[in-house]
Structure 1
Amino acid sequence: MPFICYSRTCTQSSCNQRQYHFISESKSWSEAQTYCKQNYIDLATIDNMTEMNKLIKTVRGIYFGSAWIGLYDDLNNWRWSLGNTELGGGFNSWYVRQPTNWNGQSLCVSMTFDRGWWIELDCYIHLSFVCYDGRQNASESYVYVDEYKTWTEALSYCREHHTNLVSIRNEIESLRIHSLIPINSYVWIGLYRTRSWSDQSNSTFSNWRTGEPNNAGGNEHCTAVSFGDAEDWTDENCNYQLPFICYSVSSLASSRQYHFISANKSWSEAQTYCRQNYIDLATIDNMTEMNSVMNKVNGSNNGSAWIGQYDDVNSWRWSLDDDDFYQEEEREFRNWFHEPNNYLGNELCVVLDYNGNWADISCDSSQSFLCYDEQMY
């Protein structure tokens, strides 16, 4: 038979938006999850800083303690950095009694010289590592790198110079990689663990307080937002009785609004201001929005103003990192004029001049700036 598929399109003008609901009644994490599933959809899932700010605004001024969200420590959620494929029930070579999530920080995996066992370690330990190189002109598929780096640094190195940290799918691959490890050494491989959301979302967004998660006492496997000054995340004992935040979904339309701020700030200071008072620094992803911005600042700005574009070293990207916000190719919209040139290697942030042209300058420069907000209806 012929058949019919469907896809879901979400644009900046119409989208299914998460709505957050603060429940002041104190419950354990599992009790809170049950309540949310019965009355809404689930405990709050947060995909990006835009949603984080929306959640904060829901609670701000009402409550100043900690409240459960849907993130929890799933001890079985191991993934490979190459393609984020789940470990599932496939090949593994864990050392006896591993993994244990020791101290709540053992989220990355090394291979030992002794029989190629897998050992979970703190990701900030410095080890040598093995890269996988899948390029057609690569002389070797597996490359041992005799440099000591954290797991994240090793991942960045492998992605820059080869393809990725190694994934190990069977005994043959394990033996080949094991043969590269020097005696008495451990090496990073591409296996790592992330926390999971109770609604099974694949969101990788996080907003942890410095030093968290720390699994204090070995029993902190659930996540709470602290609505104090920092409004960041901590890991807590799942049996604690706390208020919580549920979410539901409603179909809403929105219109973008831009706000010109004449105060001079660095790019990061401007980003912080916009996220606290609106949604983020301005994103401009098509010529229609470019004209809207210029109409907003017409006569107000005779110099340059920060927008949300910055260089994360690997590519130009937007401060507002929300896949649902952008239509096809909108992330790639640029309005450079003889730029960028990264003069002296220190121009990683973008300003808009009074003619609407973009230029890269030092992020520490003091500039006025443009914030983005949206009106829902």
Structure 2
Amino acid sequence: MCYKETNNISERYFWINERVTWSRAQNYCRVNYTDLVTIRNESENEVIKSKSQGTPFWIGLFNNPWKWSDGGNSTFRNWSVSNPDNYNHHEKCVEINYQGYRGNGGNRWNDADCNLQKSFFCNSSCGPSSQQYVPYKLTWSDAVNYCKVNCSSTLMTVENEAMSKNLSNCCPDSWIGLRHEYDNWNWSNSDPVTYTNWKRNFSCAVLQSDGSWNDSDCNALNPFLCYNETDNSSRSFVWINIRMTWSSAQNYCQVYYKDLASIRNENENNAAMEKTQNITSWIGLFNNPWKCSDRQVFTFQNWTLQQANIYQNSETCVKVTNNGDWKAIDCNTQEPFICSKTIMNATFISANSTWEEAMDYCRERNSDLISISSQVEQDAIAALVNTTNSPNVWLGLRQSRLFGFWFWIDEKPLSYENWVHGPPSQLPASSPCAAMSQQNNFSWINVSCSDTYSFICRYK
């Protein structure tokens, strides 16, 4: 995000003293503020320190190669000694621990497992600065309304070349307040147009990365700048020929693919067997009563003689033998294993879950709740849902409680919509999560996030 600094910088940071995973912290900030905090310099680091009360907390840096949740381009880092170290290959999110970490001194950053629970800091794009970069992609008219309603401001007015160049460095391809009406160009705050920097002409203006402006269709979706007047499902298998315990194999598959292989029929069993080169390997079935690692319904089985009834009093997992039969053995035995992945990169999960539980499930498996960007995708997902008995299926679509607009949690623009009764009100509602409704011809409905439905994950 892009700001002009003021003495009231701390007023745009909000410490949330509730311990949650990094993904849930990101979702909370996007719904209730703007995003997880981005830190651009030592001054901001110190301001946040003063508000944190000394407890460890999440910031918006993640994923190694590191990037900020809000898309900001800050290169400032404040790592503790020997960090980031990606310990055990699971540390993809960043915490700040002002009490120190592993004896390396306080006031430093550490990479950590994203599933740990910590407090966190949110950013508000409408802080007390003279300009605010808002990363949401909206139409020009919606951007004007956003600035007016949420920031008591208007879209940015650009007065000279220096200002244009400065804005382009931080906030390229963003709406500014210039629009063509009645054969004239006008600023949205009614200022006279005394300076222009056109590349070519259309109806609404965007600022480009080289500082020049481009006119754009006003219905295009872009981030934008606000201005204050004052400073105040078909599946395939991947065989991993590394001997691991069942739990380690499960974790490996969930990180790098989808999950350990769940086998639904004899054809899939034969396909899995062909991958293993006649070497016994883990599959996703575990424990008695038997269940699948990816929560799929367990119906097909192919046990060796009497194997399904042994190990009643121990933790038991399943491997497929060199002749295709299944054998139950101790889960701590080290074996090669088989991962499953989906050719279409979208998988239906039948387990009824709340919206946040569904989000957590997908993100723990290197995926996200499904987003839909076109009629083609809508039809494909509808066809997948049509093969199930689920009346409603979660989508990765949420409403901002603070600002009222809807957004995809995987950060794709909301360029396509298919609501049952047209778009919901932009006023924050008591039903701020979206689902696909099979009984409404697969159109979308807004419902309570605490309802429990099946869901679809799209793998990255």
Q: TM-score under structure 1 normalisation?
A: 0.35
Q: Which has the higher contact order (CA 8 A, sep 6+)?
A: 1
Q: TM-score, normalised by structure 2?
A: 0.29
